[in-house]
Amino acid sequence: MPKNVSGEEIAEVIHDKCIGCQLCMADCPVDAISVNDDGTVKIDPVACIGCGRCFKVCPAGAILFEKALARGAAAAAAAPAAAAAPPPAPHRGVAVFIETHNGAAADVSWELAGKARELAQKLGAPVYGLLPGKDVGPAATEAVAYGCDTVYMTDNPLLGTYLPRVYGQTVIRMIEQARPEIVLLGATPLGRDLAGVIATKLETGLTADCTGLDIDMQERLLLMTRPTFGGSVMCTILCRKSRPQMSTVRPRVMRMPERNASRKGDVKLVAFAPPSDSLPRVLEFIAKTGELGEVDITKARALVVVGRGACKSEHLPMFNELAAVLGGTVACSRPVVEAGLLPYVRQVGQTGKTVAPKLYVGVAVSGAVQHLAGMQSSEKVVAINTDRNAPLAQMADYALIGDYQVIIPELIKGIRTRRSAPPGKAEAMGYAPPGQSTK
Ligand SMILES: Cc1cc2nc3c(=O)[nH]c(=O)nc-3n(C[C@H](O)[C@H](O)[C@H](O)COP(=O)(O)OP(=O)(O)OC[C@H]3O[C@@H](n4cnc5c(N)ncnc54)[C@H](O)[C@@H]3O)c2cc1C
């Protein structure tokens, strides 16, 4: 009868009987079970607390636990609960759900990993990555490069497609092992759905679509800021009583951190436990294709954003031309979608897309809070407006005051002239063609 360091009996694996299902591993409260090269499991005598849970869950009778046998299987089922309940470790650390599609991580996961690092530094705590999926090994390496200290990974074909119950159960297992005080997810269709599943199961609070996250250092609480009352007020929400504190953040709200390939971190495999009941089966994925509106404005380096004051179909070629000379694309404010000039996929703002281009040019956009909520991370902002007091003109790096119908043709002409100028002349004007210095 093997014993642990405290002299208590610990369970023993009968290797010939072990079928490698890893159910014991998934159920072990102290992570004392790992996999041998041949797929069978082994128990770490130092970590094992002798609770006997593995004995209880093993479907193959491959675990020997004399204490339980002596009391009879029925008694064993009740006894471990008392014995197996070491006081729960305090919740500590910031976890990020790493969303993948076909094994590749969504950028928002890394944006959140960067934010998680910032929060974790304030808390003096680690950053965890929660990575369920299929063929996600490379994403685990990336997660470390983007700031995770430990990545909890479950790699299983059943996780190749998002199924709320399966993903929820898997991520909850990870959360139970890591015990983070904060969990962040991208406010993507998948992330929004999963966040609800997890928060409901863990009976904790969830603040959706946060635009700011910080730490109250006195109370060690996550400060979750988001627009409310139709975007007219920003509020900061706290989750005082339950853990983890959960928040979703839309893509492009947080800045992408630097990738550091030399960072070191751990990857912990979390066993996959298939759900006991039947699951829906995804037969086929049919990607949306084809329409004019199918552009991804969140990826554009430059955006020419058309507002209500410029909502004229005859001027669309001019906006497209400006976007083309800037190497970008056309987007719009909500009234332009409502007027039917451009499709919803091009809408910037609280109920549209969050964008963070290198250059945002607002053409007759006033800059209502609901619009600003979707573009405030843009690097350089240019406002073209007849009203110098328009909020966008006030917050812009450059405000061009006047009628866009006059300004835009001049802008296009000016940019073209500078681009075609010989290098010496371009330098004098502060612009040099790609590859040449402007200094
Ligand atoms: C719950 C909720 C969610 C919302 N979500 C969004 C959202 O996601 N995105 C969004 O954009 N809005 C959203 N809105 C609407 C938002 O409140 C504003 O109504 C909208 O952003 C205004 O759009 P705009 O700036 O294009 O138009 P306006 O506010 O009407 O501004 C037009 C501007 O054009 C200027 N102008 C007029 N003629 C010219 C000219 N010839 N040359 C130069 N300038 C000119 C004017 O001076 C003015 O500043 C939301 C509202 C609510 C209540």
Domain positions in the chain:
12-83, 94-269, 297-428
Residue 431 alpha carbon to ligand 1 centre in Å: 33
What ligand 1 atom has the least distance to the C-alpha of 336? 26
Cβ 254 vs Cβ 114: under 8 Å: yes
CA-closest residue to ligand 1 atom 22: 368
CA-closest residue to ligand 1 atom 53: 230
Ligand 1 pocket, mutate which of 370, 400, 405, 407 (most atoms under 8 A from CB): 370
Predicted confidence at residue 135, as pLDDT, reads: 95
Ligand 1 pocket, mutate which of 211, 308, 361 (most atoms under 8 A from CB): 308
- Determine the CATH number of domain 297-428: 3.40.50.1220
Asked whether this chain's domains 12-83 and 94-269 adopt the same fold, the reply is no
Predicted confidence at residue 5, as pLDDT, reads: 67
In sequence order, the β-bridge partners of residue 48 are none
Q: How far apart are CA 25 and CA 38, in angstroms?
A: 15
36 SS3 class: coil
> What ranges make up the beta strands (E) of 358-427?
359-363, 380-385, 398-401
Site residues for ligand 1, CB cut-off 6 Å: 230-231, 307-309, 333-335, 347-352, 364-366, 368, 370-371, 374, 384-387, 390, 403-404
CA-closest residue to ligand 1 atom 38: 309
> What ranges make up the beta strands (E) of 217-265?
221-228, 233-237, 245-249
> Which residue ranges of the chain lie beneath pLDDT 50?
73, 75-76, 79, 81-82, 291-293, 426-439
What single letter denotes the amino acid at residue 140? A
What ligand 1 atom has the least distance to the C-alpha of 306? 26
Q: What sign results for the dihedral spanned by CA atoms 186, 189, 191, 197?
A: positive
**CATH T-level fold of 94-269:** Rossmann fold (3.40.50)
Q: How far apart are CA 412 and CA 418, in angstroms?
A: 10
Predicted confidence at residue 79, as pLDDT, reads: 46
DSSP 358: S
Tokens of 32: 């004392």
Ligand 1 pocket, mutate which of 350, 353, 355, 394 (most atoms under 8 A from CB): 350
Residue 232 alpha carbon to ligand 1 centre in Å: 14
**C-alpha atoms less than 13 angstroms from C-alpha of 217 in its C-beta half-sphere:** 3
Tokens of 115: 């934010």
Which CATH entry fits the domain spanning 12-83: 3.40.920.10, 3.40.1710.10, 3.40.250.10, 3.30.70.20?
Answer: 3.30.70.20
Cβ 392 vs Cβ 372: under 8 Å: yes
Q: How far apart are CA 243 and CA 132, in angstroms?
A: 21
Residue 250 alpha carbon to ligand 1 centre in Å: 21
Residue 371 alpha carbon to ligand 1 centre in Å: 7
Predicted confidence at residue 38, as pLDDT, reads: 82
Q: Phi and psi for 330 in degrees, rounded to 5?
A: -95, 135
Residue in 36, 60, 44, 39 with CA at minimum distance from that of residue 10: 44
Q: How far apart are CA 22 and CA 10, in angstroms?
A: 18
377: Cα separation from own chain's centroid: 17
Residue 329 alpha carbon to ligand 1 centre in Å: 19
What single letter denotes the amino acid at residue 151? V
- For the chain, first and last CA: distance in Å? 77
404: Cα separation from own chain's centroid: 38
339 SS3 class: coil
| Cα distances (Å, whole numbers) of residue 404 to 117, 198, 417 | 43, 48, 19
